[in-house]
Amino acid sequence: MAILKIARMGHPVLRRKAAPVEDPGAPEIRRLVRDMLETMEDAGGTGLAAPQVHVPLRVVVFFVAGRRAELEDGLIEEGAAEDAPAAREFRHDVPLTVLVNPEIEVLTAETALGPEACLSVPGLVGQVPRATRIRYRGLGLEGETIEREAEGFHARVVQHECDHLDGILYPQRMTDLSLLAFTTEAGRFAAEQRAAMPAAPDEAEADAGTEREAEKVQGHG
């Protein structure tokens, strides 16, 4: 296995449409996936797409830790005990997943703004509108079909990663570029704002989400 160099915004490989994979079980695809997983782990990411490591093929890898998904979706409060009833009720880990030739079907017209960062756009975080509920399908390395419905942060991660396969980076999805910020500044100002004035519960959660994402710039691939 090897840690691969991650392409950054401006590199042509991130602007082109990736090619379909003919044989998901081919040795070179298995080797690519192993290297992508090692690279993602080294970078501390939640997901990674093949174009981000300079390979223009339709392959993504990702996982969603249950507790992080709950925090991002606002289902439990940060700092709650792992065995708290809310944590047990809403825990929904998404295991490490390899998707070859993935497709997305949007299941709702509802969209939501949420913070996104990217390994290919280091040091920045932006508020990005995404469909709140999707169905996605693709192939595993054994050729098996993987199909799931996803919502909230899970849906956001999948949409973010699959965008890379069509040459799209998250800033291109933003409708208000004033909401693009350096991660250090986003976290600092969110903390200062909360300290300066009491916020309504929804506003406090939004600020906390921005700060958490700012602290985890590698959150998305």
Catalytic residue ranges: 161
Q: What is the spatial distance between Cα 207 and Cα 186, in angstroms, rounded to a whole number?
A: 9
Distance of CA 186 to the CA centre of its chain: 18
Strand partners, 186: none
Phi–psi pair at 186, nearest 5 degrees: -60, -45
Q: Which amino acid belongs to residue 195?
A: A
Phi–psi pair at 98, nearest 5 degrees: -110, 125
Buried (b) or exposed (e) across 81-110, using 16+ Cβ within 10 A?
A: eeeeeebeeeebebeebbbbbbebeeeeee
Per DSSP bridges, beta strands 47-49 and 180-182 are unpaired
Q: Are 56 and 50 in contact (CB under 8 A)?
A: yes
Hey, what are 105's tokens?
A: 């079907």
